[in-house]
Amino acid sequence: MRVQFRRAAVVAVACACLLAAAPAGGAAQAIQEPDVVASQAIVVDATTADILFDKGAGDPVAMASLTKLFTAFVAIETTPLDRRLSVSEYDLVGEASMGISAGESLTFETLLHGMLLPSGNDAATTIARNLGAQPGDTDSQATQRFIDRANTRLATLGLHNTHLENPHGLDTDGHYSTARDIAALTLYALDHEPTFAATLQTAQYQAEGHAITNTNRLLGEYDGLIGGKTGVTDNAGYCLMQIAEIDGRRVIVVLLGSTPDAWYADAEALLDYGIAATAVPGTATRYGQI
C-alpha cells in the first residue's frame, strides 16, 4: 500500500541519517519535529510512556467522537460482551449511526463495534442508557448516571482535564478533553482491557443483522497500525487517535482540531515521527511522561 511504502521509507531514511550523523562515541542527532495543522497533538511512546511530541496537548477542547474511547473503556470495565441491551427511541440521536432501530435487543459486543467502527451515536447512547439504568429512571436519568460514573472513573485515572456531558461527543457546553488525557486513557486501556484494542483494529464486523465498517482510513493502509478512532464536529474540527507498532515499538498519536484536508496527513506525519524516534532512542525531545 502507498502509506506502507512511504512510512517504511521515511523511517529507513531517518534512521540512516541519524546513525550517520552520530559522533563516534555519542548520541545521534535529534530528528526534526513534524509541522502539523492540528491545533492540539501528542505522540507517546507506549513502551516507556514518554511524550515525544507535544503541541498544546494539555489544552482542554472539544474532542468530538474521540469521546467514545472513554465511553467504551468504562463500558468494557462495567459489563460482559454477551450482555443484551435494549434500543429505545431515545437512543436514536442522529448524525453518525450504526443503523439500529428502537425495539432491537443487541449484545454489548455488537453495540461496542457499532460505536467504535462507524462511530455510531445511537450505539453510544444505547450503551450508556442501559449501563446507567436503575429502577424508576427515565432514559435521560439513566444516561446521566452512566456519564457521572464515567467522569468519576476518569478522575481516578488522573484525567482531570476531561469532562463528559454525553457518551457520543456531539458538541455541547462543558464537554471537553485534551490530547494528553486521550492518549493516557488509550495507554491504560491497551494495558488493561484487550477488548479495547481488538475492537479498534476490526475493519469489518457483522452480527445480529448489522454489517459494520470501520471509518478509520489508515486501517490496513499504514504499516503497523493497530487501530484508531475518528471524530468530527463543528467545534472540535477533525480529530484522530491512532496506535501503531513496529518491531515491538508502539506509539500512540492523538490530534484535535485539524482540517478535512490535513487530518490524515497529520496523523501519518506524527506516526512516522514516533516510529523513527523510538527506533533510535535519544533523538526526540522528551516532554515528560504521560
Cell matching residue 243: 496506535
Distance between CA 82 and CA 167 in Å, rounded? 20
- Which uninterrupted H or E stretch holds 142? helix 139-156
Residue 197, exposed/middle/buried by CB under 10 A (0-12, 13-18, 19+)? middle
SS3 call for 93 = coil
Distance between CA 133 and CA 13 in Å, rounded? 55
| pLDDT, tens digit (0-9, with 9 covering 90-100), for 52-101 | 999 999 999 999 999 999 999 999 999 999 999 999 999 999 899 999 99
Distance between CA 183 and CA 242 in Å, rounded? 9
Answer whether residue 16 shows pLDDT above 60: no
| pLDDT, tens digit (0-9, with 9 covering 90-100), for 157-175 | 999 999 999 999 999 999 9
Cα dihedral 37/38/39/40 (nearest 10): -140
Q: What is the pLDDT of residue 256?
A: 98
Chain centroid to Cα 282, Å, comes to 27
Distance between CA 202 and CA 210 in Å, rounded? 15
Q: What is the pLDDT of residue 28?
A: 60
17 vs 84: which has the higher pLDDT = 84
- Whole-number Cα distances in Å, 98 to 6, 18, 40: 33, 46, 28
Q: What is the pLDDT of residue 29?
A: 76
Nearest Cα residue to 93 out of 130, 69, 59, 120: 120
| pLDDT, tens digit (0-9, with 9 covering 90-100), for 150-161 | 999 999 999 999
